[in-house]
Homo-oligomer: A and B are copies of this chain.
Amino acid sequence: MQGFFHPRTASGRASLLPSPPWHYSGDLLTVEYRVNPDRVADLLPEPLTLAPEDPGAVAFIWADWQSCASDGEQLLDPVLGQYKEAFVVIRCAYQGVTYSRCAYIWVDTDFAIARGLHQGYPKKLGSIHMTRPHPYGPAPRVAPGGRFGASLAASDRRLAEARIRLVAPSKSNGFVNAHPMAHSRTVTAIDDPSRFRLDEIIVTGSASAEGGDPWSADVDHFALFESPTEELHLLQPEEMIGAYYRQVGVTWNGGKLLHDNLRGDLTAQAVHGG
Contact = CB atoms under 8 A, between A and B. Distances in A.
Q: Chain A: interface residue count, which band?
A: 35 or more
Contacts of A80: 155, 229
B14 A104 contact: yes
Interface in A124-171: 124-125, 127, 129-132, 134-140, 147-151, 153, 155-158, 161, 163
A156 B153 contact: yes
A16 B104 CA distance: 11
Given A13-B231, A42-B10, A155-B79, A185 B190 contact: yes
B75 A149 contact: yes
B19 A193 contact: yes
B189 A257 contact: yes
Interface stretch (A49-57, A91-99, A198-206, A236-244): A198-206
A36 interface: no
Contacts of A155: 77, 79-80
A19 B18 CA distance: 32
A256 B26 CA distance: 41
Nearest to A11: B231
Given A231-B14, A248-B136, A118 B66 contact: no
A23 interface: yes
A55 to B, nearest CB: 15
Contact of A77 (B1, B68, B149): B149
Contacts of A185: 187, 190, 197
A151 B77 contact: yes
A172 interface: no
A245 interface: no
Nearest to A251: B137
Contacts of A140: 75
A20 interface: yes
Interface string A9-42: 1110110100110011110000000000000011
A136 B211 contact: yes
Contacts of A190: 118-120, 185, 202, 204, 254-257
The 5 closest A-B pairs by CB, nearest first: A137-B249, A25-B137, A136-B249, A76-B149, A6-B122
11 contacts: A11-B231, A13-B230, A23-B137, A25-B138, A78-B130, A80-B155, A80-B229, A109-B125, A113-B113, A118-B188, A187-B187
